[in-house]
Structure 1
């Protein structure tokens, strides 16, 4: 039974996900997904002076995908972009009290999406590559 494989923390994030929603003034929006299970994740970040000032997400996915995306937002809020780049899928899973092996791809999706968001910020907002359309 799946409910026995999830910690109380995981269930709390499944039932009451944090930082859900779109963000009008995001300066980074990144989409990630896992085609094998149909999860789709959108992260919206507001990064100022290299610090994550705000983060929100929208997701279509299983409970583990919701929980990992939710706790990851809490883990990176107020952190520097360097700290976000060092965040691993294992740290996200551990913050939830662990995940079943077959659900580790969910924490990997959250970590990979955050890393992609920081790379996008560094390449566009921070100025190394002009934003699309300019």
Structure 2
């Protein structure tokens, strides 16, 4: 009798938990429906395995609506939703200024093990913007050539990107902590030096979760810009 009651109780508990989970997912998709015919869209999977999707709908020159989705952790969800909030009402030039530092200003300091969530959110947004500007080049006449082009359905873009990566040599600057990375990025942004905050590549040893990637031909400029202002631990070629 006692065993039967225990099994029955466990089955009831499992049923309740399943019902709650289904209700949560149903409510989530009800409140966050997929955007039909977005003007710009991108879906990116990070090195951590998390995937983010951002879709943009424009009304004239400004973003009217944003759809954000991720299958990642709570921090990933917070970062991608923050990007969505920052993107609303923005023009393309304003969208180009939304970066990892902008996200961190809103969400606060993240654990270094989760800095890649903010980086992934920035990357996904910028790819969605690039998708839009590819179809509407006149809205972004000063589009930086360093930005990656949006994906093409015929796979040609992937081949072009791979060829470009092979032709371009990059250097990463490794720092003691995320705060150093953010200070360095601010300096490079003020000097208009091409750079990108990325997760530390797996083959490179570092206690910090992110680093700065620059084209190798810019290394002398970067070193001069950071010298005496922000200390870095090491550099490595990619």
TM category (shorter chain) comes to 0.7 to 0.9
> Take 1:21 and 1:95, find their aligned partners in 2: how far apart are those partners?
25
| CA shift for structure 1 position 48 | 3.0
> Take 2:99 and 2:80, find their aligned partners in 1: how far apart are those partners?
13
> What is the root-mean-square deviation of aligned Cα atoms in Å?
2.2
Given that 1:93 and 1:104 are in contact with CA atoms closer than 8 Å, whether structure 2 keeps it comes out as no
Given that 1:20 and 1:56 are in contact with CA atoms closer than 8 Å, whether structure 2 keeps it comes out as yes
TM-score, structure 2 as length reference:
0.43
Deviations 1:24-61, CA, capped at 9 Å, x for gaps: 13122211111x32100111110233311110112100
Ranges in structure 2 where 5+ consecutive residues have no aligned partner? 1-27, 139-151, 155-238
> Take 1:77 and 1:109, find their aligned partners in 2: how far apart are those partners?
18
**Structure 1 residue aligned with 2:53:** 42
TM-score, structure 1 as length reference:
0.74
Alignment of 1:116 onto 2:119: no
Runs of 4+ in 1 over 4 A off after TM superposition: none
| CA shift for structure 1 position 84 | 0.9
> Take 2:132 and 2:45, find their aligned partners in 1: how far apart are those partners?
19
Given that 2:41 and 2:132 are in contact with CA atoms closer than 8 Å, whether structure 1 keeps it comes out as no
Secondary structure, counterpart of 1:58 in structure 2: strand
**Structure 2 residue aligned with 1:89:** 100
**Structure 2 residue aligned with 1:105:** 116
Secondary structure, counterpart of 2:96 in structure 1: helix
**Structure 1 residue aligned with 2:70:** 59
**Superposed counterparts of 1:20-35, under 5 Å:** 20-34=32-46
